[in-house]
A = this chain, B = another copy of it.
């Protein structure tokens, strides 16, 4: 058989090690995999030789015989631009990747157009044995990926999933907790009319946020409207104008992403609205940009890296048929900055709080 010519040094195999150690390939395999079947001295000798010759398993060979690829797949159905401007994804991938690579598992990444294309990718990966499992992000309402992985028998977990979905394990993404904290913060400042510029309603987490938002408002005796968008800055600007010019303008607006919050801030300022004097603004996801604009934006910070790591850990357990690891992700945390303050002419209900920045305090009003 003719192999394509390979430049560079030849890569050693277990046969080479077996020969040098004077044992069979089987023994080498047992030794290298830490399995019983070789004496301690032999094992040590084999490991030393493997180390010396710089042996690494040929993953294709291992995958073929062990029916394991040693890789997990992540297909993302978001256009490049969204991906680029949502720090969420980069952090999530970092978390996933760190956890996987600490277990020597590789991450296969594919960026596709929509959920349908994602199902195609998942199907092919599984058919080709490219992956041992998959991570599902951005769960949709009636998501086709859930029945698919169940049909295929593909081990999968839902990252940041809002709630139980068939037999596929999910891990909360802090949406409920985060929305509650933001509303609570605003209510404490004295706001009773709080609107929200939301993301796309096709996402299950958007719906969850909407439910929790409504509940939190009702529980606090507050009220507000929700406008859904496509996450674009143009839509955020439009929604902000619409809300501020409406018959019952809010004293605070919550945005579902940092980009929309910044866009909304600019829109409000251009309309001559003082932030936070006349309008408080809060962003759901925190990011560096929230601390850089003026006024800096109050935001809900989530441990997104943690979500990724948790999901990856869980997926590996699922693949290995081990018990699920405990949920260990830090809860969302409200970062109060300069963009939120008591509403005009109102006193904060439970103790006024100074916000962190000078710019903010000058805008604070007495009740």
Contacts and interface: CB of A to CB of B under 8 A. Distances in A.
A146 B319 CA distance: 37
Interface in A262-282: 262-263, 266, 269-270
A111 B84 contact: no
A58 interface: yes
Interface string A113-141: 00000000100101111100000000000
Interface string A147-172: 00001111000000000000000000
A81 B129 contact: no
A83 interface: yes
A281 to B, nearest CB: 13
Contacts of A203: none
Given A58-B129, A85-B87, A80 B270 contact: no
B85 A111 contact: no
Contacts of A365: none
Contact of A111 (B11, B58, B97, B359): B97
Given A107-B110, A233-B292, A289-B289, A90 B83 contact: yes
Nearest to A83: B90
Contact of A91 (B80, B87, B108): B80
Given A67-B4, A109-B107, A259-B289, A56 B128 contact: yes
A106 B107 contact: no
- Of A69, A262, A359, the most chain B CB neighbours within 10 A belong to A262
B89 A90 contact: yes
A233 B287 contact: no
Interface string A77-109: 000110111011111011101100100001111
- Of A60, A61, A106, A154, the most chain B CB neighbours within 10 A belong to A60
A353 interface: no
A305 interface: yes
A116 B6 CA distance: 25
Contacts of A129: 11, 58-60
Interface of A: 3-4, 6-9, 11, 54-61, 63-64, 67, 69, 71, 80-81, 83-85, 87-91, 93-95, 97-98, 101, 106-111, 121, 124, 126-130, 151-154, 233, 259, 262-263, 266, 269-270, 287-289, 291-294, 305, 359
27 contacts: A4-B67, A7-B153, A56-B128, A58-B128, A58-B129, A59-B63, A60-B63, A80-B90, A80-B95, A80-B305, A81-B91, A83-B91, A83-B93, A83-B94, A84-B88, A84-B90, A84-B91, A85-B289, A106-B108, A107-B108, A108-B109, A233-B292, A259-B288, A263-B292, A266-B292, A266-B293, A289-B289
Given A8-B153, A108-B108, 18 more contacts: A11-B129, A56-B128, A59-B69, A59-B128, A59-B130, A61-B64, A63-B63, A81-B91, A83-B91, A85-B288, A90-B90, A94-B111, A98-B111, A106-B110, A262-B289, A263-B292, A270-B359, A289-B289
